Amino acid sequence: MIELGGVGQVFEGRGGRVQALDDIDLHVRENEFVTLIGRSGCGKSTLLRLIAGLLPPTYGAVTVAGEPVTGPRRDVSFMFQRPALLPWRSVLSNVMLPVEISGGDSGRKEYRDRAHELLELVGLSGFERRLPHELSGGMQQRVSLCRSLIRRPQVMLMDEPFSALDALTRTEMSDELQRIQMELATTIVFVTHSIEEAVLLADRVVVLTPRPGRLREIVEIDIPRPRSLGTNAHLTEVAEISGRLHGLLAEKTHPADAPEANR
Amino acid sequence: MKTRSSWLTTSRTSAILLPVVGVIATIALWWLVIVLFDIKQFLLPSPYDVLQRFLEQPGYLLQQTWVSLVESLAGFGLAIVIGIPIALVIVRSAILERLVYPLLLAVNAIPKIAIAPLLVVWMGFGQLPKIMMALLVCFFPIVISTAQGMKSTPAELVELLRSLKASRTQEFFKLRLTYALPQIFTGLKVAISLAVIGSVIGEFAGSTEGLGYVIWNSGASADTPLAFAAIGLLSIMSIVLFYGLVLLEHLLLPWAEETR
């Protein structure tokens, strides 16, 4: 579904050249859930933006669904760390934003029904008319999730979407996301810096080294779904994989306190 | 966020009551000073003298108020019609910004009172030079606040629209312009009081009507109560216009107070 070949990214900043990513080869299969993990500044957000077509790679090739990425695609959705809702739009109207931007009134009604379904799926029915500031952070991020699902994307790119939420909401959202992915069969690339989240959600965890971001290792997670943090099943496997990821991330490569460069 | 919940800070009645109390207290103090120090009427009239003077010619004074109001609003309206597009152009093009911005600054830096007589020379004694003066005085804050507002769009929202493949036009109308509205309103609220000041400056420079003319004339005949009555009417006009805008903002942008 997603193919990255020899991809690298160099930023020309005031302080000179910064090599954010180098020599990334990655193949993400259809309906696969991949988490990208690494220290801050390892270029994981940049990698996500390359796939999204928000940023052209300095070198290397990115393809989605067999086509070279030249810009944002309608069948790829992007979810941000913050909810990024338009404050003057109601919940429903925020969810409908992608449809509105695609233009064309065909199927508007159908999308509206879908928006209601999605809001119900994440437990927000009854809140359609509310404005974003009337909702909690977790509810806002759920609206954001509905918005990224409205156009039935083939690929969902998620940039630390739950990192600003409290622990409990985060667990709930992780459960919901797994359920949604099993139901809707989408390919997901999910950036996180939480080992726990990476293991819980992923079919494969991609570990990046910091500065420049290179593939450190790809770890297969063979634990049956749905997985949940609350239960004790497969505790030993989870502990074993988490330990391994910890080791990979902790390995000394470059100074860890290097400035943030993932944008 | 509300930190205190006493009725004095939250209740709706107090929102109206407290300003009224403030005004009444000021008037009482003013009166007290006059009585205590036995100040002559032509130096500082008492509130009663001012009211009395207004009631001698209420029709005339209200008519002059109307003249000034029309001039102020016309100047303010023109400032919006001219100022907002200028701001949009400046934000859109760095070249035009560099070209136009120093000129705008220069125009804004000119003491307006200095060009008031020129406006009379160019445009005569009618309402046009007053409208121009109101426009000149109040359009700069509109340009600045609009430009500022247009630049304040959060990067993540811009990125969101880009990820949705929005066109430049969609990005402009669905995001940037709406996002700028609260800041545009801030500029409008500054501008509306300035527009009133502008029209009065214009009237000072040569006219036969308007509250500015009334004040100018009363000075010549040492009719201080009349000057105070006119000043009072000007203040009331400014206050009403300002709160009119506040109300409009409240109705049009219910989301703004909560997100800023």
B152 CB-side CA count, 13 A: 15
CA quadruple B34, B38, B43, B48: dihedral sign? positive
Tell me the range of A24-28, B37-41, B58-62 where mean pLDDT is highest: B58-62
Contact assignment for A77 to B258 by CB distance below 8 Å = no
Residue A257 has pLDDT above 80, yes or no: no
Q: Which two tokens stand for residue B198?
A: 């502008």
Residue B259 has pLDDT above 70, yes or no: no
Separation CA A22–CA A10 (nearest Å): 8
Residue B195's φ and ψ, nearest 5 degrees, are: -60, -40
Percent above pLDDT 70 for chain B: 95
* One-letter identity of residue A155: V
B231 touches chain A (CB under 8 A): no
Contacts of residue B245, Cβ cutoff 8 Å, sequence gap at least 6: B185, B188, B189, B192
Predicted local confidence at residue B137, as pLDDT: 93
Separation CA B234–CA B194 (nearest Å): 12
Separation CA B115–CA B108 (nearest Å): 12
**Is A214 in a helix, a strand, or coil?**
strand
A133 touches chain B (CB under 8 A): yes
Predicted local confidence at residue A213, as pLDDT: 81
**Is A174 in a helix, a strand, or coil?**
helix
Contacts of residue B169, Cβ cutoff 8 Å, sequence gap at least 6: none
Separation CA A83–CA A160 (nearest Å): 11
Predicted local confidence at residue A258, as pLDDT: 46
Predicted local confidence at residue A104, as pLDDT: 65
Predicted local confidence at residue A110, as pLDDT: 87
Contacts of residue A93, Cβ cutoff 8 Å, sequence gap at least 6: none
Window A:175-214, CB contacts with B under 8 Å: none
* From B154, B163, B256, residue closest to A52, measured CB to CB: B163
Per-residue burial over A171-197, b = 16 or more CB atoms within 10 Å of its CB, e = otherwise: bbbbbebbebbeeeebbbbbbbbbbbb
Weakest-pLDDT range from A137-141, A178-182, B198-202, B251-255: A178-182
Domain residue spans in chain B?
1-39, 42-259
Q: How many CB pairs under 8 A join A and B?
A: 58
Of A262 and A247, which is predicted with more confidence? A247
Contact assignment for B258 to A131 by CB distance below 8 Å = yes
Residue A147 has pLDDT above 70, yes or no: yes
> Angle CA(B223)–CA(B228)–CA(B232) in degrees, nearest 5?
150
Percent above pLDDT 70 for chain A: 92
Which band of pLDDT confidence, cut at 50, 70 and 90, is reported for residue B193?
A: very high
Give pLDDT tens digits for A166-182: 888 888 888 888 888 88
Predicted local confidence at residue A252, as pLDDT: 60
Which band of pLDDT confidence, cut at 50, 70 and 90, is reported for residue B13?
A: confident
E strand or H helix at B22, and its extent? helix B12-37
Predicted local confidence at residue B1, as pLDDT: 44
Q: Which two tokens stand for residue A239?
A: 């502990």
Bridge-partner residues for A19, per DSSP? Answer: A10
E strand or H helix at A257, and its extent? none
Homologous superfamily of B42-259: MetI-like (1.10.3720.10)
* Pair B91, B151: CB distance under 8 Å: yes
**Is A20 in a helix, a strand, or coil?**
strand
User: With contacts defined as CB-CB under 8 Å, which chain B residues touch A132?
Assistant: 255, 259
B160 touches chain A (CB under 8 A): yes
Q: What is the dihedral of CA A95, A101, A106, A107, to 10 degrees?
A: -20
DSSP, residue by residue, A217-251: EEEE--PPSSP-SSS-TTHHHHHHHHHHHHHHHHS
Residue B258 has pLDDT above 50, yes or no: yes
Closest residue, chain A, to B167 (C-alpha)? A101
Predicted local confidence at residue B202, as pLDDT: 93
Q: Quote the distance between the C-alpha of residue A106 and its chain's center.
A: 29
Residue B74 has pLDDT above 50, yes or no: yes
Contact assignment for A54 to B161 by CB distance below 8 Å = no
Alpha helices in chain A (DSSP H): 44-52, 91-95, 97-102, 108-121, 137-149, 167-184, 195-201, 235-250
Predicted local confidence at residue A260, as pLDDT: 47
Separation CA A177–CA A190 (nearest Å): 11
Look up the ipTM and state it.
Answer: 0.84
Q: How far B149 CA sits from the closest chain A CA (Å)?
A: 15
User: With contacts defined as CB-CB under 8 Å, which chain B residues touch A131?
Assistant: 254-255, 258
Closest residue, chain A, to B153 (C-alpha)? A86
Q: Which of B213, B215, B231 is nearest to B223 (CA)?
A: B215
A80 touches chain B (CB under 8 A): yes
Q: Which domains does chain A have, with CATH numbers?
A: 1-75+154-174+185-263 (3.40.50.300), 88-152 (no CATH)
Give pLDDT tens digits for B103-142: 888 988 888 888 988 988 899 888 999 999 999 999 999 9
* Pair A5, A25: CB distance under 8 Å: yes
Contact assignment for B255 to A84 by CB distance below 8 Å = no
Residue A46's φ and ψ, nearest 5 degrees, are: -60, -45
What does each C-alpha distance from B19 to A177, B13, B22, B214 come to in angstroms?
53, 11, 5, 28
Contacts of residue A14, Cβ cutoff 8 Å, sequence gap at least 6: none
Predicted local confidence at residue A221, as pLDDT: 82
Q: How far A263 CA sits from the closest chain B CA (Å)?
A: 11
Of B187 and B42, which is predicted with more confidence? B187
Give me chain B's average pLDDT, please. 89
* Pair A19, A211: CB distance under 8 Å: yes
Kindly state the average pLDDT of the residues B214-220: 90
